[in-house]
């Protein structure tokens, strides 16, 4: 009887842990989706339809001093000519970071 109870409790604990991991995953921001929503209209595939000299490819960004996700977030908050400004109400800091990391790891 006691053993059965322990097994039941263990199974519950494992189940709960699995559930919380899944909840965390689904709650996690998807940089790709957010990029598609906010940025892809002007930056399809990491390009730039308005100013072709400023795509989101790693090398091009680095040339302009954009080396980390923080620099990309800074551009969203204070963009150059022709780009929409995204403030925290539009894109939270967390979302902005997810988008920036997606850009850095995706467009080479
Ligand atoms: C309305 C079109 C438009 C949208 C929407 C847009 N951008 Fe841009 N983006 C531009 C233009 C135009 C530039 C070049 C601005 C300049 O001359 O500095 C640019 C430049 C950038 C740069 C700097 C590139 C460089 O080499 O200097 C980054 C980073 C960037 N955009 C990221 C984003 C992200 C992230 C989003 C979505 C959250 C986004 N952009 C949405 C038009 C857009």
Would you place residue 23 in the very low, low, confident or very high pLDDT band (cuts 50, 70, 90)?
very low
Q: How far apart are CA 5 and CA 13, in angstroms?
A: 12
The string of pLDDT tens digits covering residues 40-67 is 999 999 999 999 999 999 999 999 999 9
**Which two structure tokens, joined as six digits, stand for 12?**
């519950």
- Domain with 75 in it: 29-106
Residue 5: inside a domain, yes or no?
Answer: no
Model pTM score: 0.82
Residue 9: inside a domain, yes or no?
Answer: no
Residue 77: inside a domain, yes or no?
Answer: yes
Nearest-CA residue for atom 30 of ligand 1 = 75
Asked if the model's pLDDT at residue 34 lies above 60, the reply is yes
Q: What are the Cα distances from residue 74, in Å, to 21, 27, 38, 48, 80?
A: 31, 24, 15, 18, 11
Residue 35: inside a domain, yes or no?
Answer: yes
What CATH number does the domain containing 93 carry?
Answer: 1.10.760.10
- Best probe residue, ligand 1, of 43, 67, 69 (max atoms within 8 Å of C-beta): 43
Residue 58: inside a domain, yes or no?
Answer: yes
Q: What are the Cα distances from residue 103, in Å, to 11, 48, 54, 72?
A: 40, 13, 14, 9
Higher pLDDT, 38 or 4: 38
Residue 49: inside a domain, yes or no?
Answer: yes
The predicted structure's pLDDT at residue 18: 52
Domains: count for the chain: 1
The string of pLDDT tens digits covering residues 84-102 is 999 999 999 999 999 999 9
In terms of DSSP H, where are the helices of the chain? 2-27, 31-38, 58-63, 69-77, 93-106
Residue 12: inside a domain, yes or no?
Answer: no
Nearest-CA residue for atom 40 of ligand 1 = 39
Residue 45: inside a domain, yes or no?
Answer: yes
């Amino acid at each position: 009887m006691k053993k059965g109870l322990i097994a039941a409790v263990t199974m519950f604990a494992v189940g709960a842990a699995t559930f919380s991991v899944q909840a965390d995953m689904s709650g996690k921001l998807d940089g790709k989706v957010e990029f598609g929503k906010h940025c892809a209209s002007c930056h399809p595939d990491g390009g730039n339809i308005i100013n072709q000299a400023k795509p989101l490819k790693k090398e091009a960004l680095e040339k302009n001093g954009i080396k980390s996700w923080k620099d990309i977030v800074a551009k969203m908050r204070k963009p150059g000519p022709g780009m929409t400004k995204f403030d925290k109400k539009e894109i939270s800091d967390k979302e902005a970071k997810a988008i920036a990391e997606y850009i850095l790891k995706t467009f080479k």
